[in-house]
Structure 1
Amino acid sequence: MRHLLKHAVLVIICMALPTLLLAQVSVTGTVTDASNNPLPGVSVRVKNSNIGTSTDVSGRFSITVPSKGATLEISSVGFKTRSIQVSENAAPLSIKMEEDAGRLDEVVVTGLATSVKRRNLANAIATVSSKDLVGTAPAQTFDAALNGKVPGALINANSGAPGGGISVKLRGVTSIFGNTQPLFVVDGVFIDNTATPAGLNSVTAAARGGNASNQDNPSGRVADLRSEDIENIEILKGASAAAIYGSKAAAGVVIITTKRGKSGKTKLTLSQDLGFVKVRKLLGQRSWTEERAAELGAVALADFQEAKAAGRMYDYEKEMFGETGLTRNTGLSLVGGNERTSFFLSGGMKNEDGIVKGTGYEYKSLRVNVDHRITDNIKVGVSSTYINSEADRGLTNNDNNSVSYGVALSATPNFTELHKNELGYPDNKYTASNPIQTRDLANNSEKVSRFITGVTLDAILQKSDVSTTRFIGRGGFDNYTLKTSAYFPNELQFMQTAEGTSVQGYAKSLNYNVILSLVNNFSPSDKFNLTSSAGVTQENGDFDNILNVASKMIAGQPNVDQAGALSPTQLRNQFQDNGIFLQEEATLIDAITLTGGVRLDRSSNNGDASKFYFYPKAGLSVNLTRMDFWKSPLFDNLKLRVAYGQAGNFPAFGSRFELMSIFNIGGNVGLYPALTRGSKDIAPERTSELEAGFDASILGGRVNLEFTVYEKRITDFLLQRAPAGSSGFSQQFVNAGNLRNRGMEVSLNTTPVSNRDVRWNSIVNFWFNRSRVTKLNVDPVVLGVFGTSLGSFKIEEGRPATQIVGAAGSPDNVIPIGDAEPNFQMNFLNEITFLKNFSLRFLLHWKNGGDNINLSQLLTDLSLTSPDYDDDGGTKGPNRVGRFGDTYADVYTQSASYLRLREVGLFYNFSKMPTSVIKGLRIGVSANNFLTITNYDGYDPEVSNFGTGFSTNVDVMPFPASKRATFHLTIDF
């Protein structure tokens, strides 16, 4: 029977092939802009099919299409989409594209397998293009490149250490003990963004006292992505847009699409960036006199007198953080293909020296993206990348043993001697470590080897004049290994007791997911369109981290087996998430769009792993200017929109179980329950969001306004509470209450000048968020930092979730003293093209308000080394210390407002090439973070020493922020 079926299929294909060949026709044409300049890279596709191509460097294209009823859709970013019907004897087409200043024809994601034009969108979805990421002044890592470019986001650098480390919050606080970072999706693959510590707490004791915050200064793994390979990013900022992603989407979704191949002549592009990086700001130190040195004691006075007589005052801060690092970034890409197969190949190498001697970042990547049309109805695409990186991150951020660079420097006056001599490095008389010695001999590095591969299958199962049904299968895997290595040899001053420490970590992560969906597009007329989609998803994760801490090391031997004592730990996290989704989108008269959908999710992390949780979504957009009754000549586009959705946040791994700890009594090994009690009924946090707004465009698209307000409610958020003492446990995860976020986002896109000589495009974004705890089933909880004497966060009913509280006169009088949430943020992005070939582009970012807990200044004040200690007639520093000594925490909670020139770049595109081999040539110069206006007393107002969780905005001697300048050269062959 099987053989008979094969022969029957073969006969049918052979009989149909001549008919199919006769039914096809070749269409050629040229695509230009309004000034008749050729447009390369324009997409030319047959509507409701997988047949497509793109224009070459001269704007020409050639495509074979079915003649009967074939309609070509011509689209390109920044231009309005055109539809052209072709006939069997079609003459060469001449197509002129009209500029789409309001991005109304831009296609954005509305579901796991569907999309819609922006003019019919019911949500405010932020988009970041390739040009926004790397077109002005490329940042060191992908996550840093997002900073200041996403309305509705609060982005902070955990420190300035090489290799990245960024905290991202979209539309306020989403969770306190759960995941606070958005879901990142690359070409359909859910990627892991775990920040894995290197075990530095074993040396720094930063988490002494049981503080659960992550204080090991790790980088997040989203930093591994190469910005130059990314075509477009869409940010679903809240549940109203991201609900279809279910229990991964409470904190938002970042959808990343990488560059694809294009049919036509193969294009080879070589890019080379050369530049330098320097510290953005040095704090300085107190100006010393004999009287001031005497305040440190008799040893310091003698030390000062000796240094003054020898003429050897030092600037140790500049010696530590004042290196000028060289940056090199080389990229090579190959783009090409034909009507059936297209490809994008790229490779990149980056090498950056840090501002601290011995630190830096090396990065290598290779990407292969291939798309192949098997038949006119079946298309498959593969996206694959390999990443290898190494970061030497130094030893910074909080520490309680005075061993990290900044903490040691805070107590070290500039007149003592720390440099190496014939006897070695002298001990630091004022604190536990010699930072020069630590910098030169210690090591803290991480190495990453990562594969990310995604596959997409798009098959048209049914097609008629009014209906098209597709099967879309997407999936892939994200697999990486992370090797962390921290070595502190026994000759270090602070290693005299431990006799050397080596911390070696190895983490392996494998995430893989599958999304299978059916999508039907039903369009019986130009007045009605219905898109139905349904599907299933599955994601599996396996994270395994082994950390070995060895002490009493044999001299010169970093291997953990060359030690007198070894303490291993292992964290294993496995999960499986399953989802079912349904979505319906109806468009009436190309003006009214209604969207409804539902997602059902279950997870092995839930208390009931078999229970499905229900997440609905709905949206409505009404484009008044596309309706027959609208007669106003003022508006080119006026759309009203409203959307609602729910998403979830799975409980933390292990919160449903009692974990076990090991004990050893008389050589007998056993297990006993840990102090955290499991909760068998633990449920996911649920986020419900309602957003509404309007989009307006006037003056022929030269002025575009987008206005959005939203309310986001989180129910059943997770907290830890103390159960009854008789239980034997000290903590338990519970669903403790509800909180709310309200905010507003405004975007204004204008073209003030547009003529033959000058074109100026300007974008201004404004946004703010306010949070409040609306319900709390447990007693108020102080968490996140060091306690109320220094300033801490407090979850309290009726108060903002981001409030900072502190003691006011006594330990028992705790009051609000600040708020980590900014009053508002604004950015100003401008691009000016002039003299035909010059392009000037710059981004200003203004953050107003938002407080930091500045414990860096506390450390220098207590050590009498603050640069402004003697200001105000010698009272400024003593007054701060005195107020702190009187049990007032507010003195070190400070506003982190700033105005920053994040990026500026000037480029020149050559119109005449020196040889026919070179098709394009572009040169330019750029700068990152070269200008910051702020009153904040620290290295940088953007700081989050405690990682990517809830407790951000804490400043404890971080790796200082840097600024960079770069020369760019790009050649197209």
Structure 2
Amino acid sequence: MLLSKSTLMALLCMCSAYLLHAQQNVQGRVTEAVSGRPIPGVTVRVPNTNRGTITDADGRYALTPPEGARQLTFSFTGYKTRTADLSGNVVNVALEEDFARLDEVVVTGLATSVKRSNLANAVATLSARELAGTAPAQTFDAALSGKIPGALVSANSGAPGGGISVKIRGITSVFSNSQPLYVVDGVFMNNASVPAGLNDVTAAATAGNPNNQDNPSSRIADLNPADIESIEILKGASAAALYGSKAAAGVVLITTKRGRSGRTNISINQETGFVKVRKLLGQRVFTAETAADLAGPADSPDPDVQAARNANRQEFLDAQSAGRIYDYEKEIYGNTGLLLSTNLSVSGGSEKTTFYFAANRRSEDGIIKGTGYLNSSLRLNVDHRINDRISVGVTTNYINSSADRGLTNNDNNGVTYGVALSSTPGFTELHKDNLGNYPRNRFAASNPLETRDKMVNNETTNRFITGVRLDARLHENDKTNTRLVANGGVDFYNLKTSAVFPRSLQFMENTVGGASIQGNTNNINTNLYGYLVNTFTPNSSLTFVTTVGATLETGNFDNILVSATQLIGTQTNVDQAGAANPRQFRQKYRDNGIFAQEEVTILDAVTATAGIRFDRSTNNGDYKKYYVYPKASLSWNLAKMDFWSFSSINSFKLRAAYGQSGNVPPYGSKFTALIISNTGGLPGSFVDNQLGNTGIKPEKQTELETGLDISILDGRVNLEATYYNKKIFDLLLRRLPPGSTGFNAEWVNAGDLRNQGIELGLSLLPVNTKHVRWSSNINWWRNRSRVTRLTIPAFSLGAFGNSLGTFYIEQGQPATQIKGSIPDPNDASKNLFVTLGNSEPDFQMSFFNELQLWSNLSLRFLVHWKKGGDNINLTQLLTDLGGTSPDWDDDKNGNGVKDGPERANAGSAAIFVQDASYVRIREIGLYYNIPLQTRFLRAVRVGVSANNWFTFTDYISYDPEVSNFGSNTINTAISRGSNGISTGVEVTPFPASRRMSLHVGIDF
């Protein structure tokens, strides 16, 4: 039977419609090539379009490709990317594991990325599991410790709420910013450390060192680690150059979790644990005579000394007979804190709109009674595909945190816990009586138990972070496509600090009659950048990626601090006091930049990149001037060339990169400020003693990086080796101007600095069977700094003078050297000023292992070894001076002189400059996935973990990781003396803690 033409046309149209419908509804399942298990979270995308989806918990996906689509790409972190042809409406794919992570996509610019196999820079990456999946740390910044090759991550304090200093590839600046730039989903986050004004009570900055010593936390600690999907650390100037002057110390790019289309997933995770002090120093064991010696020598002719000796002797005998010899160190630092963390996340969505919502509450009691940390956060990330060409993503995060940080670190009034304890023997009575009255401490300016129980030192933060990203495909065909990408972000926080010292405290009743120090800080940072990205592929062997764009960042910081004394009764309001001293610090800046970058990839083996950024800032002397920061890089993966014949070597990449970046001058360095005056009751202004420098310019950083990456045995053995040479020119330093000017300080560009280092990484997969898998990562790194030019006289900074050891900036010497006075062996009446040590480690090494059994049981642990690096241990000095050191009465060298007085009277700074090497098991975790799945239950897991539980060190104080001065960021402007070098100075710190937790997780 013959068909008419009209009937034939109708049948053809029906077939075409059917075929089109079949093409528009593609579904399938993605599994592991070896085990056959489904892989959730795989990105399924139509190449060169905005159309894509993500596999659900069962590895299934459904997608509607646009008309004419011929292929789908399947990519997921840890697996090799695969491209499959669209031959029907069902496409199932099995992915092979990418042991070497060669297909992992790494950011190379503000809008572009490249596969790791073609990457020309050493970029460290951390996954969610590496960040917090083994043993969650107290804060986000603490979770970075020991995990970033090339970085020195130091815990400045053990106080709840954090306080971490991160230095990437050595000292970036002496006085200006030395902390990396943190970017969360495109939003520039402020990482300020804002002091609470404790110096008004402790007088820590009134003698020996003017730097802020308030022990504040770092604001990056607000971020919840459980929200983070991955982190990329751009360490070199070439990698970070496009971020401009804020990137001089490196860039930490943080990507938070996003939603996945398909089934709505609900996860609940609960952590319950406890926190204990890592180490106590112990106390001196007294006798009646050694107790009497605290008042003076037995042969003293002074009757007052003899009376005091008798009083001490009798007090000791009475305490001994009554069984009242106390361990006050244990009472202060020996609290066992409860740790609770609850996290709820909900994610899901459709093919066009996905969402991720998370709520988290984390509370932790400190090892000191009355201290603790509470962090509550809400996050909502929404992504929407408007059409095949335009998509938009929104990230929002609200954080409320509260940290009670106690009263620790240095002070010159004897009021902090540690300084008071350093001279307080265990036989004196400090406990309150039945009426609640605390006895006065005869041996110190304060009763530390009373101070602990009555004073308040709280930081409360309300923070809102939001960002918007627009991605629009303006043009596309078979060979080229052009995208417009725009990002905007706002980071706002309000920080309130409250430090209250009632007038009933021992050190307040006869001095200032109580003190209430209230601070209020508002900070808002905005960033906006847009760029055009054109990808041109003339053939399968050649790809050009061109990027041009512009950025704008603003900041507005406003800190008001009011210190009130002579409090009325129990009032804490600053207006309920006899005297008040208000202070305000404001800072505003505006930075903008223009940049362009070209990337060329040849044969998927050679990648060349060149870029340039023009950057200016209102902090520069000439705010209209643009400074130029170029970059260039080249990588050649020989294993992808046709001539390569070594089948066992899967990747052999040579790479080199060069880049420049800057570091803007401190705020206000170009101005001569006015300060308040009061003459005869008449208010007015005086000219400050710091001379403004209108010609001040940014520090300029150049870095050359070379490296070799090798992957063998199908990625089971991988080596990454990097050498870098980083030079900083026009160091921002403070000098003493000529006396004729009438000023005593001026900011100048007055020196050069160099950092050279090596980074080695080795990843291994020794065992990989169906039931047993063992993976291991070993990293080794070192850095050496040197001041290569100094046009002002050498100077000390960051400690307490030559007699105790001080950091010393000197041409031709390391920037982190420690110098001090020692007796001249040839003339006891003279001292020599010599080099005593260096705070920079000889090297660092980390060792991460994960053992998985039957896919359900896993053991993970991270070992961190820091070899070398000296601390200035002034805690021991204070206990020696107070006669309470636990080894005071020992005589280790057998010379007949007790160790305590021998150290205290030696007159040598060398005694207290001590090696701070350690080996620490930072994280260890044992987890079990219960093989229980129902219609509503996807997974159940339980685990136990320990954080910083084991530390092996000869360092004799609380912890080898310590710094009296903390990080510098905004403190540089406030204290006008902070610096990025003086980590490793210890003065009775808040002791470090260790934690152990039980974990339970349920996925619905």
TM-score, length-scaled by structure 1: 0.97
How many angstroms does 1:347 deviate by?
0.3
Match of 1:689 among 680, 687, 703: 703
How many angstroms does 1:886 deviate by?
4.2
Query: Where does residue 622 of structure 1 map in the other structure?
Result: 636
CA contact (8 A) 2:125 2:230 kept: yes
Q: Distance in 2 between matches of 1:294 and 1:316?
A: 19
CA contact (8 A) 1:46 1:73 kept: yes
Q: Is residue 206 of structure 2 the alignment partner of residue 175 of structure 1?
A: no
How far does the alpha carbon of each residue in 1:313-334 deviate from its partner, in whole angstroms, 9 at most, with x for none? 1111111111111111000001
C-alpha change, 1:191 and 1:21, in structure 2 (3 Å) is farther
How many angstroms does 1:950 deviate by?
2.4
Query: Where does residue 258 of structure 2 map in the other structure?
Result: 260
Q: Distance in 2 between matches of 1:600 and 1:117?
A: 27
Q: Distance in 2 between matches of 1:935 and 1:764?
A: 24
How many angstroms does 1:812 deviate by?
5.8
Residue 609 of structure 2 aligns to which amino acid in structure 1? Answer: T
How many angstroms does 1:209 deviate by?
3.2
How many angstroms does 1:311 deviate by?
1.5
How many angstroms does 1:878 deviate by?
4.2
Query: Where does residue 902 of structure 1 map in the other structure?
Result: 922
Query: Where does residue 84 of structure 1 map in the other structure?
Result: 84
Residue 119 of structure 1 aligns to which amino acid in structure 2? Answer: S
Match of 1:489 among 502, 511, 516: 502
Identify which range, 414-423 or 530-539, moves more after superposition: 414-423
Residue 909 of structure 2 aligns to which amino acid in structure 1? Answer: A
Match of 2:987 among 949, 956, 964: 956
How far does the alpha carbon of each residue in 1:818-863 deviate from its partner, in whole angstroms, 9 at most, with x for none? 0000000000000000143100000000000000000000000111
Residue 214 of structure 1 aligns to which amino acid in structure 2? Answer: N
Q: Distance in 1 between matches of 2:846 and 2:209?
A: 36
Q: Distance in 2 between matches of 1:860 and 1:512?
A: 48
Q: Which runs of 4+ in 1 moved over 4 A?
A: 18-24, 873-881
Secondary structure of 1:726 counterpart: helix
Residue 997 of structure 2 aligns to which amino acid in structure 1? Answer: T
Match of 1:433 among 434, 446, 462: 446
Q: Distance in 2 between matches of 1:195 and 1:478?
A: 15
Q: Distance in 2 between matches of 1:828 and 1:572?
A: 45
How many angstroms does 1:885 deviate by?
3.5
Q: Is residue 18 of structure 2 the alignment partner of residue 49 of structure 1?
A: no
How far does the alpha carbon of each residue in 1:854-885 deviate from its partner, in whole angstroms, 9 at most, with x for none? 00000001111111222235869845654553
Secondary structure of 1:398 counterpart: coil
CA contact (8 A) 2:247 2:661 kept: yes
Q: Distance in 2 between matches of 1:912 and 1:248?
A: 49
How far does the alpha carbon of each residue in 1:598-649 deviate from its partner, in whole angstroms, 9 at most, with x for none? 0110000000000000000000000000001111123111100000000110
How many angstroms does 1:211 deviate by?
2.9
How many angstroms does 1:351 deviate by?
1.2
RMSD: 1.5
Q: Is residue 606 of structure 2 the alignment partner of residue 592 of structure 1?
A: yes
Give runs of aligned pairs for residues 837-852 of structure 1, distance below 5 A.
Answer: 837-852=856-871
CA contact (8 A) 1:323 1:354 kept: yes
How far does the alpha carbon of each residue in 1:192-251 deviate from its partner, in whole angstroms, 9 at most, with x for none? 001000000000001013733220100110000000000010001121211111111110
CA contact (8 A) 1:782 1:793 kept: yes
Q: Is residue 789 of structure 2 the alignment partner of residue 791 of structure 1?
A: no
Residue 30 of structure 2 aligns to which amino acid in structure 1? Answer: V
CA contact (8 A) 1:715 1:737 kept: yes
Query: Where does residue 998 of structure 2 map in the other structure?
Result: 967
C-alpha change, 1:212 and 1:950, in structure 2 (3 Å) is farther
Match of 1:834 among 850, 853, 859: 853
CA contact (8 A) 2:207 2:412 kept: no
Give runs of aligned pairs for residues 91-106 of structure 1, distance below 5 A.
Answer: 91-106=89-104
Q: Distance in 2 between matches of 1:606 and 1:875?
A: 60
Query: Where does residue 10 of structure 1 map in the other structure?
Result: none
Match of 1:698 among 693, 707, 712: 712
State the number of aligned residues.
953
Q: Distance in 2 between matches of 1:676 and 1:332?
A: 52
Secondary structure of 1:160 counterpart: coil
Query: Where does residue 25 of structure 1 map in the other structure?
Result: 24
Query: Where does residue 676 of structure 1 map in the other structure?
Result: 690
How many angstroms does 1:288 deviate by?
1.1
CA contact (8 A) 2:46 2:69 kept: no
Query: Where does residue 411 of structure 2 map in the other structure?
Result: 399
CA contact (8 A) 2:891 2:898 kept: no
Give runs of aligned pairs for residues 520-669 of structure 1, distance below 5 A.
Answer: 520-669=534-683
Q: Distance in 2 between matches of 1:852 and 1:751?
A: 38
Structure 1: unaligned runs, 5 residues or longer? 1-17
Secondary structure of 1:809 counterpart: strand
Q: Distance in 1 between matches of 2:365 and 2:634?
A: 51
Q: Is residue 432 of structure 2 the alignment partner of residue 412 of structure 1?
A: no
Secondary structure of 2:65 counterpart: strand
Query: Where does residue 73 of structure 2 map in the other structure?
Result: 73
Identify which range, 452-461 or 826-835, moves more after superposition: 826-835
Secondary structure of 1:181 counterpart: coil
Match of 1:306 among 318, 325, 330: 318
C-alpha change, 1:691 and 1:876, in structure 2 (3 Å) is farther
Secondary structure of 2:64 counterpart: strand
Residue 24 of structure 2 aligns to which amino acid in structure 1? Answer: V
How far does the alpha carbon of each residue in 1:109-136 deviate from its partner, in whole angstroms, 9 at most, with x for none? 1001111010000000001111111101
CA contact (8 A) 2:887 2:899 kept: no
Q: Distance in 1 between matches of 2:854 and 2:604?
A: 40
How many angstroms does 1:699 deviate by?
1.2
CA contact (8 A) 2:353 2:383 kept: yes
Q: Distance in 1 between matches of 2:569 and 2:334?
A: 31
How far does the alpha carbon of each residue in 1:531-588 deviate from its partner, in whole angstroms, 9 at most, with x for none? 1001000000000000000000012111111100000100000000010010000000
Q: Distance in 2 between matches of 1:57 and 1:684?
A: 51
Q: Distance in 2 between matches of 1:533 and 1:180?
A: 29
CA contact (8 A) 1:927 1:965 kept: yes
Q: Distance in 1 between matches of 2:915 and 2:691?
A: 38
TM-score, length-scaled by structure 2: 0.94
Query: Where does residue 7 of structure 2 map in the other structure?
Result: none
Secondary structure of 1:65 counterpart: coil
Q: Distance in 2 between matches of 1:457 and 1:316?
A: 59
Give runs of aligned pairs for residues 840-879 of structure 1, distance below 5 A.
Answer: 840-872=859-891, 878-879=898-899
Query: Where does residue 387 of structure 1 map in the other structure?
Result: 399
Query: Where does residue 5 of structure 2 map in the other structure?
Result: none
CA contact (8 A) 1:869 1:877 kept: no
Residue 290 of structure 1 aligns to which amino acid in structure 2? Answer: A
Q: Distance in 1 between matches of 2:897 and 2:184?
A: 50
Secondary structure of 2:730 counterpart: strand
How many angstroms does 1:793 deviate by?
0.5
CA contact (8 A) 2:139 2:224 kept: yes
Secondary structure of 1:113 counterpart: coil
Q: Distance in 2 between matches of 1:459 and 1:781?
A: 54
C-alpha change, 1:524 and 1:23, in structure 2 (3 Å) is farther
Query: Where does residue 112 of structure 2 map in the other structure?
Result: 114
Identity %: 57
How far does the alpha carbon of each residue in 1:461-495 deviate from its partner, in whole angstroms, 9 at most, with x for none? 00010001000001110000000000000000000
Residue 829 of structure 1 aligns to which amino acid in structure 2? Answer: F
Query: Where does residue 12 of structure 1 map in the other structure?
Result: none
Match of 1:936 among 948, 955, 966: 955
Q: Distance in 1 between matches of 2:18 and 2:936?
A: 43
Q: Distance in 2 between matches of 1:340 and 1:820?
A: 53
Q: Distance in 2 between matches of 1:648 and 1:684?
A: 6
How many angstroms does 1:294 deviate by?
2.0
